[in-house]
Amino acid sequence: MTRLRVIAIDGAAGSGKSTLARGLAEALRLPYVNTGIMYRALTLAALDTGVDPDDGNALAELMSRLRFGLSDDDPPEIEVEGARPSPSLMSERVEAEVSHVARHPQVRALMREGQRRLGAPGGVVEGRDIGSVVFPDAPVKLYLTAEPRTRVERRAEQRGAVDPIDVEEALHRRDARDARVNPFETAPDAIVLDTSDRTVDDTLEVAVAIVRDRMPELFA
């Protein structure tokens, strides 16, 4: 049987995980599966249809009707209902509710199923529980961290925010909510990479070297 071709990238917002995951997917020519998009898409659908973020069963029902797939891009990326993820998935409105939506076990079970389906043929899979829960057999698991100040700066830059204080507050609020209702599950065998003092290229280089060492088949 061929080995699972999954690279798990976990970490908090602003840790650099999306940048690294996309860069690795490009370098390795594997699909880029950003699981945060799936939680955000379910949250937006709940807000738009009036489903209560505290009602786990109603959310699971809504989730079972959402269609996630991979695009024809290079690298392929997550599609929601056959289209590229909408920019509104990154809105404050969604970020304020996503941790609540993500905390329900029924929702997480369906997410896990969908994420395994998308990632199983091979991919760089990004999230918070990928190495621990979704793909515990991934041959490479990276866990990204960064100093709080670096995370806020990156987030402000990504969002083109005028007021970094707003970004800092929103990030800390979401961290606190996630820590309370939806704590990180870190895989004991994950390699921790602190990206605070590394450039994007540095981080990518380190990650590619780890993958080359552990998954030489991807470079054959």
Name the residues that contact ligand C5P, by CB under 6 A: 13, 35-36, 39-40, 98-99, 102, 127-129, 174, 178, 182
Closer to ligand C5P at the Cβ: 111 or 211? 111
CB 183, min distance to ligand C5P, A: 10
Instruction: Name the residue nearer to ligand C5P (CB basis): 15 or 207.
Output: 15
Q: For residues 76 and 127, which CB has a smaller minimum distance to ligand C5P in the complex?
A: 127
Q: Which residues are 68's β-sheet partners?
A: 80
Q: How far is 180 from 26, CA to CA, in rounded Å? A: 35
**Could you tell me the smallest distance in angstroms from the CB atom of residue 216 to ligand C5P?**
28
Give the whole-angstrom CA distance, residue 48 versus residue 196: 37
Contacts of 194 (CB under 8 A, 6+ apart): 144, 145, 146, 147
Looking only at the bridges linking them, the beta strands covering 78-80 and 140-145 are unpaired
Choose between 60 and 205: whose C-beta lies nearer to ligand C5P. Answer: 60
Closest separation in Å from C-beta 162 to ligand C5P:
21
**Residue closer to ligand C5P (CB basis): 99 or 195:** 99
Q: What is the DSSP letter of 83?
A: B
The Cα–Cα gap between 215 and 207 comes to 12
**What's CA 158's distance to the chain center, in Å?**
16
Nearest to residue 147, comparing CAs of 54, 4, 55, 12? 12
| Dihedral of the alpha carbons of 210, 208, 113, 44, in degrees to the nearest 10 | 130
- Identity of the residue, 179 or 209, whose beta carbon is nearer to ligand C5P in the bound complex: 179
Least spacing, CB of residue 26 vs ligand C5P, in Å? 19
- Least Å distance between CB 197 and ligand C5P? 22
Taking CB positions, which residue lies at the least distance from ligand C5P?
36
Cα Rg of the chain (Å, integer) = 17
Nearest approach in angstroms of CB 82 to ligand C5P is 20
